[in-house]
Amino acid sequence: MKRKIALVMCILMISCNVIPVLAEDTQTPDAAKTVFETKDPSTLSISVNEKGGTEEASRLEEKQAEDSGMEAEDVPVVDSEVPEEKQDSHNNIEESKNLDEIVNAEATEQGENTENSGQENSKAVNTINPPAPVTGLKAQNSGKYVYLKWNVSPEADGYIIYRQLGKGSFKYLYIVSKTDFTDLSASADEYNFYRVYPYKMDNNGNRVVGKSTTYVYSKATLPAVGNLKAKGTDSNTVTLSWSKVAGAEGYIIYRQIGTWKMEYRYIVSGTGFKDTTASNKDYNFYRVYPYFTDKSGKMVLGPSKEYVYARGQLDAVIQLRAVGKNGYVNLSWDWVWDADGYIIYRQVGNSGFKYRYITSNNTMQDTTASTEEFNFYRVYAYFNDGERRIIGKVGNYVYAKAIFQGQREYSEGIYHVGENIPAGNYVVTGNSCYIAICSSYPSDNSLYNIIENDFFSGNRYVTLHAGEYYKVERGKTVPLAVAPKYTGNSGKYGSGMYLVGRDLSPGRYLITITPGSYNGYYEIRGHAINGSEGSYISDIIKNEIIDSGSRYVTLENGQYIILERANAVKK
């Protein structure tokens, strides 16, 4: 029995006192290079499991390399995930029931088998108490390794590390003098369980081993990528970026378009990817998995804990053209694939670009274009996303002036529209001016043929249609294309009629009674005064007589506001 114990003792002394040499990492860059240069998705056999994780469809089943490790490796760490009960959790450990006793006995027998100094019955008696168990033991995955750390055990000279792989049994792994250790041979396929035993040396050079009161576990898997972002950067293009994962050789990208399934898209070695086949109308969903190649050639993937999504941008409008015509500027452009419509912005002179029009066609006639200054245009394609419009890329701008070839001013009188005055938009100015739009020639004793009329001082916008009769007294009528703008006095607009987007900008205005007047009146209209867009009353959006105080109103592009004995100031 003593011979058997002595043999065990010798083995233990060899295993405990000789620090194992770290196994060299035999991985070569060729394996990674092969992966990086893979461009054809069909050559990869990778799928997404039911829980959204990724797994290789086939892996080489080769014998793992010998255990190896290193002390105090300075590597970034990520908290290990807690295994589910059905996996290799703590309930599945099959460790020896007397592991503490075995470790201690092996160390104790070293002292019992030490040769004496030649004196009988002079055998040393070990009376040193073992060091206290370690506390704060943690296991964290660190790239392709597992990093262990713990608190200092008082009086301990070192620490003995035991490891259990999956459902196996605890076996000696390494001995260290510091309070951390990196397991270079940890498994990525099953959980690695660890116990750490403190020890101190007695006066005879024997190890006195303390107890292990807890164990920890982790897999040698990569952490998930962080700071994952997706942004539509071009037509059919989404650009992805993420933070580097320590220990990762590359990243595998999966994509889902709309309600389709998540599928492999690409594999890269860097921390970004430009997807040039992204959808412009449907959202593109992305997951990115870090990976490394182990010594057996298997591709070991880390988790994906989040997804991001984005859409490519619509193409910019091309072949945009602006041609000056008689009284307007004609715009045209090529159709944009997937666009639901187009938004036109215009800048007159140096006034800045402002919204002008929206259309589903690829042409537009700007009948309010200036004949005196250049009109600059930009056209944006868009598609509808519920109640939102998603705007495409910006293209080139074009410019032109409206051409006016007709009569520039019409004095008071009666005109037959289409015969001695063209149909179109006009501005009428005068003092105590009277206008009337009639269905037949106006006579002094007939009121039944009047469609619309007004009596005012200042100005009015009117729209005339072919076949109507137009009467004006004490005023002059100017085509809108050559009419001046009515921009107010230092931001204050007095009595008159104003076109929002031409004379004043859209927004919120404060309306007050003109000083010295008994009351004021304002009226917001959807159209100019005319005889074909509905009755004068039905065309009024809002109106009010102000007897005292002030009122706030909000004006939109294309609306008209009439002020009588009132002023308007933008707020």
Question: Domain holding 243: CATH number?
Answer: 2.60.40.10
Cross-strand partners of 160: 175, 197
Short-list 205, 202, 211, 170, CA closest to 13: 205
What single letter denotes the amino acid at residue 523?
E
Angle at 203 between CA 202 and CA 209, to 5 degrees: 5
The average pLDDT across 384-393 equals 84
Which residues span the domain enclosing 200? 135-218
Asked if residue 120 is part of any domain, the answer here is no
What single letter denotes the amino acid at residue 493?
Y
Domain identity same for 419 and 554: yes
Q: Could you tell me the two tokens for 252?
A: 């595998």
The average pLDDT across 396-401 equals 96
Cβ–Cβ contacts within 10 Å for residue 317, how many? 24
Look at residues 218, 235, 268 and tell me which one is the last residue of a structural domain: 218
Q: In angstroms, rounded to a whole number, what is the distance separating the alpha carbons of residues 422 and 467?
A: 10
| Res 294: pLDDT | 78
Spatial neighbors of 77 by CB under 8 A, at least 6 apart, are 140, 141, 142, 147
What single letter denotes the amino acid at residue 146?
V
Q: Determine contact, residues 114/264, Cβ cutoff 8 Å.
A: no
Q: Determine contact, residues 349/366, Cβ cutoff 8 Å.
A: no
Short-list 63, 16, 62, 11, CA closest to 173: 16
| Res 91: pLDDT | 39
Task: Give the CA-trace dihedral at 95, 99, 103, 108, to 10 degrees.
Answer: -160
Domain identity same for 445 and 495: yes
Look at residues 196, 218, 240 and tell me which one is the last residue of a structural domain: 218
Asked if residue 1 is part of any domain, the answer here is no
Range 118-126 contact pairs with CB under 8 angstroms and sequence separation of 24 or more: 124/203, 124/204, 126/202, 126/204, 126/206, 126/208
Domain identity same for 534 and 564: yes
Cβ–Cβ contacts within 10 Å for residue 329, how many? 27
pLDDT tens-place string over residues 331-347: 999 999 888 999 999 99
Positions of E strands within 6-136: 46-48, 54-56, 69-71, 78-79
Asked if residue 80 is part of any domain, the answer here is no
Asked if residue 115 is part of any domain, the answer here is no
Asked if residue 125 is part of any domain, the answer here is no
- Please tell me which residue, 73 or 459, carries the higher pLDDT value: 459
Residue 20 has pLDDT above 70, yes or no: no
Domain identity same for 336 and 289: no
Q: In what order do the strands lie in the sheet with 321-325?
A: 321-325, 328-332, 363-366
Angle at 195 between CA 53 and CA 305, to 5 degrees: 15
Cross-strand partners of 354: 346
| Res 481: pLDDT | 81
Q: Determine contact, residues 522/550, Cβ cutoff 8 Å.
A: no
User: What integer best gives the mean pLDDT of the chain?
Assistant: 80
Asked if residue 180 is part of any domain, the answer here is yes
Domain identity same for 265 and 143: no
Domain identity same for 551 and 428: yes
Domain identity same for 438 and 552: yes
Domain identity same for 454 and 376: no
Look at residues 277, 310, 343 and tell me which one is the last residue of a structural domain: 310
Domain identity same for 423 and 565: yes
Asked if residue 67 is part of any domain, the answer here is no
Q: Determine contact, residues 519/565, Cβ cutoff 8 Å.
A: yes
Q: In angstroms, rounded to a whole number, what is the distance separating the alpha carbons of residues 14 and 2?
A: 18
What single letter denotes the amino acid at residue 452?
E
Spatial neighbors of 362 by CB under 8 A, at least 6 apart, are 332, 333, 334, 335, 342
Residue 191 CA, distance from chain mean position: 35
Band of pLDDT at residue 406, cut at 50, 70 and 90? confident
| Res 50: pLDDT | 33
Lowest mean per-residue pLDDT among 78-92, 171-185, 278-292, 497-511? 78-92
Domain identity same for 426 and 558: yes
Domain identity same for 484 and 566: yes
Residue 34 has pLDDT above 80, yes or no: no
Band of pLDDT at residue 250, cut at 50, 70 and 90? very high
| Res 344: pLDDT | 97
Q: What are phi and psi of 108, to 5 degrees?
A: -65, -40
- Whole-model pTM: value is 0.43
The percentage of residues in the chain with a pLDDT greater than 70, rounded to a whole number, is 77
What does each C-alpha distance from 399 to 152, 327, 373, 382, 452 come to in angstroms? 78, 15, 10, 22, 37
DSSP 506-548: SEEEEEEEPTT-S-EEEEEESS-EESSSS-TTTTEEEEEEESS
β-strands 413-416, 469-479 pairing: antiparallel
Helix axes 2-17 and 99-112, enclosed angle (nearest 10): 100
Asked if residue 527 is part of any domain, the answer here is yes
Residue 167 has pLDDT above 50, yes or no: yes
DSSP 8-state secondary structure symbol assigned to residue 549: S
Domain identity same for 505 and 472: yes
What is the count of structural domains for the chain? 4
Cβ–Cβ contacts within 10 Å for residue 76, how many? 13
